[in-house]
Every structure is written in C-alpha cells, then in structure tokens.
Amino acid sequence: MIYYIGSLLLIAVGLYAVLVKSNLIKIIIGLNFISSGVNLLIISVGYINNGTAPIFSRLGLNPNTMVDPIPQALTLTAIVIDASELALAVAFVVLLYRHYKTLDIKKIRSLKW
C-alpha cells in the first residue's frame, strides 16, 4: 500500500512542478517525475506478496508465486522511450534559450497563457 501512496505523491509533485514552476528545466524535471511515478505504480500493481521474479533461473522455483511479467515488460520499454523523449525536450529548451536568451516561460511571449 505504501508503494501506491508513494508513487501517487511522486506524480502529484511532478504535476505541481509542471503547473506552477516557470523555469523550463524545472518543468521537464516534473515530466520526468510523472513518468517515473507511473512506472512505479504499474509495477506495484503487479506485485504479489512473497513473490519471486518471473525468471526460471534455477530448478525448483514455484510458478504459482511469481509476480506478473506483463507490467515489467511494459515499463521496460517505457523507460527507454522516456529517456529519448526527454533528450528531445532538452534539445528544444536549448534552442529556445538561444532564441530568447531566457528560460522563464513568462518572458517567452509565445508560450504565455
């Protein structure tokens, strides 16, 4: 249960950064927290008490106590995609800084709301 609460709080912290902060790097850090929190939430949904990892690395492992392999496969690919897209976002921030000479979204007029 503590895993659910922790990952939901991490998602909330990330959403707070995205909504309130005006620095572009802080906004991307918030996006990173949201994706990490979602990964943690999905993995913790698939956990079974006193379970073992879904790997038949030695004989005698009981298949009935293995944790769910599908959330692990989903988050494995999601982590790689997160990293590459955050690199793309950082590249956009660098280009915005070269053009506007600031990281504050209140001073970048076309991103004002």
Minimum Å gap between C-beta 32 and another protein is: 6
Six-digit token string for 77: 């690919």
d(CA 12, CA 96): 27
d(CA 40, CA 78): 11
Minimum Å gap between C-beta 8 and another protein is: 5
Minimum Å gap between C-beta 111 and another protein is: 15
Six-digit token string for 66: 């293995």
Select 84 or 110, whichever has its Cβ closest to another protein. Answer: 84
Select 94 or 111, whichever has its Cβ closest to another protein. Answer: 94
Select 57 or 110, whichever has its Cβ closest to another protein. Answer: 57
Supply angle C-alpha 107, 110, 113, rounded to 5: 80
